[in-house]
Amino acid sequence: MLGLIFKNKNFRNLWTGQLISALGDRLTQMGILTFVMIAAQDKGDKMAMITFFSLLPFLIFGPLFGILADRYSRKNLMLIADLVRAVLVCFIPVIWINTHSVILIVAWFFLLGTFTALFTPAKMSIIGNITEKSFLLEANSAIVSTGLVATLVGTFIAGAVIKATGVKPAFFINGFTYVISALFILSISYSKDAVPKEIQPKLCFNLLSDIKTGVAYIKRHQLIMRLILLSSLFSLISSFGYILILNYSSAMLHQDSLGVGILLSAVGIGAILGSVILIKRKDKVNYGRALYLSYTIIGVFSLLFIFRPNFYFSILFLFCLGVGASMLTITLDTMFQRVTPDDLKGKIFSARGVFTEVVFLTSLLLVGVLIRNIQVTHLFAVIGIIGLITAIGAYFYRRSLRYILLRLWLKLMLKVLFNFKVSGLENIPKKKRYIFAANHTSIIDGIAVACAYPERIYFLAADSLFKTKFWGWWATQLGYLPVKRGGFNKEAIRDAVGILKGGDCIGIFPEGKISADGRLDEGKAGIALIARLADVDIVPCAIEGAYEAWPVPKRFPRRFPVEVRFSKPLDGRDYPVKEELLKEVMEEIAKTKLGLERDGYLRIEPDEIVKYLING
């Protein structure tokens, strides 16, 4: 992470500006807490209202600001947002000291939130423009760590400064930090796909069309839908958690602004550790496992507050919650950026923002009501249960219990009917995502490879397969992806790349059709293109005996031994030309198939060979 910051000038400027302004934000956070929660003896409902209206602009203006981030300079949008926020934040103490009106403060935070809503999709989108894809995990860790360091250092310093000098200077310092942030952003240079100037003036007319484009893309990609759902559930947990931590600190532990700052700093320390863990294991990160592990940590340590921990145990529990929250945030952001095309990033991030903010704002209103009538420790238990249920759901959604049971049954049938065997698994390093490339001679090939490899494989299959009632049902249950007859198409390639970037494997039959005579045919270059786009290795594998067991013209199978053998993965980066990679894949499949044929004839009983030759 530090290497990325020091080597990449543009990212360094973005990160530095965000760190400075985030430190300043802690001063405003602690300042408004001092005004409202401590001075006005608020139990949390007024803070919930202020937070609600500061986030409401994300919901109202999110789609528009996402489109702006795709159409216009993301750098300029960030500059405008920072400079306007610098002015707005300086007026907060003036409004409060002269009116003590919560309503005016709420309205002012709505304005402040509007320009934060403009800033956010531009910032999240520009990360992909100034950072290589291989460094996205480090980039997101660095950005998340910015806020976490600010929580750790800034909250503690803010509490101490406010206690020593009063509240008013905190807001002026925050305004100054926005100006510094703008100066760093001004020095960023980046490139993005140019938007034709002739369509820019038609923004108002194309707004609905752009929204439809983003929604349609989300609908087509189950991974993005799942990520939005998980992000929304985290918004529910974090909205409750923020208010509950503040309430628990003041009402149960009787802490002043310094004590609250220490507790929030514990979250920051844990969050930094979470980001470090992800970076240390960046080459081995399985994003699916990271998601349900994060939710498990959040669920367990939220539940522990039911035991009313003292100040020191609260620090420990909040530290662990910070670990889980940062791992979850970094994982979700990285997955979104990896699977979303640059020209849709603003729309997709704003769409996610709309969903998550609806949940967050609704939850804020709900917690503002509940906290008056329900003990804070019981509410902690509720969000702990939600976290654990989400973790279980994410685990089984990824693994799909129905798929696991179906796969076990199919594997049993293969063993009974075809004496099914698997070899070569030792050639494949675990906990990585691959493209599996196999020869295609039978209708059971996909089932055979899926049952041979321990992790789930999503196969690309001809769309005609889905039109038949029987085989279409099986294809759907096994997670096959339809491909139009005649080769790979844009949507199929996008779906395959999205699955691979999400941490799963796909299977492809490079020949594009079932062999009529059992011989290996020529491969098509689509597999090499997908491997390059997703930056994954290809595992050649051979299926022997499937042609004899159930060739295409036959309606029913015959007993014949079937075996799947895996070869060693091929690194696509070693083959700069797609045709060279494809050639190597096909040669490796042929070599593995030949080895299986030789071993098979030695293994099969002579009587079985004679029977096949006579009946074949």
Q: What gap in Å lies between CA 214 and CA 261, rounded to an integer?
A: 40
Beta bridge mates, 540: 437
For residue 196, what pLDDT is reported? Answer: 38
Q: Which is more confident, 102 or 144?
A: 102
> Which helix (DSSP H) or strand (DSSP E) does residue 564 occupy?
strand 563-566
Q: Where are the alpha helices (DSSP H) in 430-572?
A: 445-452, 469-477, 490-501, 526-534, 546-549
CB–CB of 240/376 below 8 Å? no
Q: Which two tokens stand for residue 284?
A: 């081995």
What percentage of the chain carries pLDDT values higher than 70? 81
Average pLDDT over residues 249-276: 80
Average pLDDT over residues 480-505: 74
Indicate the pLDDT class of residue 194, thresholds 50, 70 and 90: very low
Indicate the pLDDT class of residue 251, thresholds 50, 70 and 90: confident
Least confident range from 225-229, 304-308, 382-386, 486-490: namely 486-490
460 phi/psi in degrees, rounded to 5: -90, 130
Least confident range from 10-19, 331-340, 448-457: namely 331-340
Q: Which is more confident, 214 or 494?
A: 494
- Specify the CATH superfamily of domain 401-615: Glycerol-3-phosphate (1)-acyltransferase (3.40.1130.10)
Give the Cβ contact number of residue 10 at 10 Å.
16
- Read off the pTM: 0.59
Beta bridge mates, 422: 564
Sign of CA dihedral 66, 271, 285, 223: negative
For residue 317, what pLDDT is reported? Answer: 94
pLDDT above 70 (res 388): yes
CB–CB of 590/560 below 8 Å? no
Q: Which is more confident, 572 or 207?
A: 572
For residue 204, what pLDDT is reported? Answer: 44
pLDDT (tens digit, 9 = 90+) per residue, 401-423?
677 788 889 899 999 999 999 99
Give the best-scoring range by mean pLDDT among 343-357, 385-399, 509-523. Answer: 509-523
Q: Which is more confident, 558 or 2?
A: 558
Indicate where the chain has its CATH 1.20.1250.20 domain(s).
2-189+198-399
Whole-number mean pLDDT of the chain?
79
Q: Which two tokens stand for residue 271?
A: 């969050």
Q: What gap in Å lies between CA 250 and CA 30, rounded to an integer?
A: 13
Indicate the pLDDT class of residue 227, thresholds 50, 70 and 90: confident
Indicate the pLDDT class of residue 397, thresholds 50, 70 and 90: low
First to last CA, the chain: 62
**Beta-carbon contacts of residue 612 (< 8 Å; ≥ 6 apart):** 548, 560
Concatenating the DSSP letter of every residue in 114-139 gives HHHHHHHHHHHHHHHHHS-GGGHHHH
Q: What gap in Å lies between CA 105 and CA 110, rounded to an integer?
A: 9
CB–CB of 302/241 below 8 Å? yes
pLDDT above 50 (res 469): yes
For residue 210, what pLDDT is reported? Answer: 59
Q: Which is more confident, 48 or 119?
A: 119
Concatenating the DSSP letter of every residue in 384-444 gives HHHHHHHHHHHHHHHH-HHHHHHHHHHHHHHHHHH--EEE-GGGS-SS--EEEEE---STT
Least confident range from 307-316, 577-586, 592-601: namely 592-601
**Beta-carbon contacts of residue 581 (< 8 Å; ≥ 6 apart):** 528, 531, 532, 538, 570, 572, 575
Indicate the pLDDT class of residue 211, thresholds 50, 70 and 90: low
pLDDT (tens digit, 9 = 90+) per residue, 538-548?
999 999 999 98
Rounded to 10 degrees, what is the CA torsion of 468, 474, 475, 476? 100
pLDDT above 70 (res 198): no
For residue 143, what pLDDT is reported? Answer: 72
Average pLDDT over residues 436-462: 89
Q: What gap in Å lies between CA 383 and CA 369, rounded to an integer?
A: 16
pLDDT (tens digit, 9 = 90+) per residue, 318-355?
999 989 988 888 888 877 777 676 667 667 777 777 77
For residue 220, what pLDDT is reported? Answer: 62
Indicate the pLDDT class of residue 43, thresholds 50, 70 and 90: low
Domain 2-189+198-399, CATH number (from 1.10.443.10, 3.30.460.80, 1.20.120.80, 1.20.1250.20): 1.20.1250.20
pLDDT (tens digit, 9 = 90+) per residue, 59-99?
788 777 877 887 788 888 989 999 999 999 888 888 877 87
For residue 208, what pLDDT is reported? Answer: 59
Q: What gap in Å lies between CA 418 and CA 440, rounded to an integer?
A: 17
Indicate the pLDDT class of residue 519, thresholds 50, 70 and 90: confident
For residue 565, what pLDDT is reported? Answer: 95
pLDDT above 50 (res 205): no
Q: What gap in Å lies between CA 232 and CA 222, rounded to an integer?
A: 15
Q: What gap in Å lies between CA 87 and CA 175, rounded to an integer?
A: 6
Under DSSP, is residue 458 helix (H, G, I), strand (E, B) or coil? strand
Give the Cβ contact number of residue 486 at 10 Å.
8
For residue 449, what pLDDT is reported? Answer: 93
Indicate the pLDDT class of residue 553, thresholds 50, 70 and 90: confident
Q: What gap in Å lies between CA 364 and CA 349, rounded to an integer?
A: 21
Pairing mode, strands 505-508 and 457-462: parallel
Cα–Cα nearest to 262, from 39, 40, 30? 30
Q: What gap in Å lies between CA 376 and CA 424, rounded to an integer?
A: 55
Residue reference for tokens 């063993």:
415
Give the best-scoring range by mean pLDDT among 37-41, 352-356, 591-595. Answer: 591-595
Instruction: Please state, in angstroms and as integers, the Cα–Cα distance from residue 434 to each residue in 184, 291, 429, 499, 531, following that order.
Output: 40, 20, 10, 10, 9
CB–CB of 260/246 below 8 Å? yes
Q: Where are the alpha helices (DSSP H) in 91-202?
A: 92-99, 102-130, 136-149, 155-165, 168-186
Indicate where the chain has its CATH 3.40.1130.10 domain(s).
401-615
Cα–Cα nearest to 419, from 544, 566, 552? 544
Q: What gap in Å lies between CA 159 and CA 27, rounded to an integer?
A: 8
For residue 320, what pLDDT is reported? Answer: 92
pLDDT above 60 (res 5): no
pLDDT above 50 (res 292): yes
For residue 134, what pLDDT is reported? Answer: 61
Least confident range from 138-152, 371-385, 473-487: namely 138-152
**Beta-carbon contacts of residue 160 (< 8 Å; ≥ 6 apart):** 258, 261
Q: Which two tokens stand for residue 321?
A: 């919650």
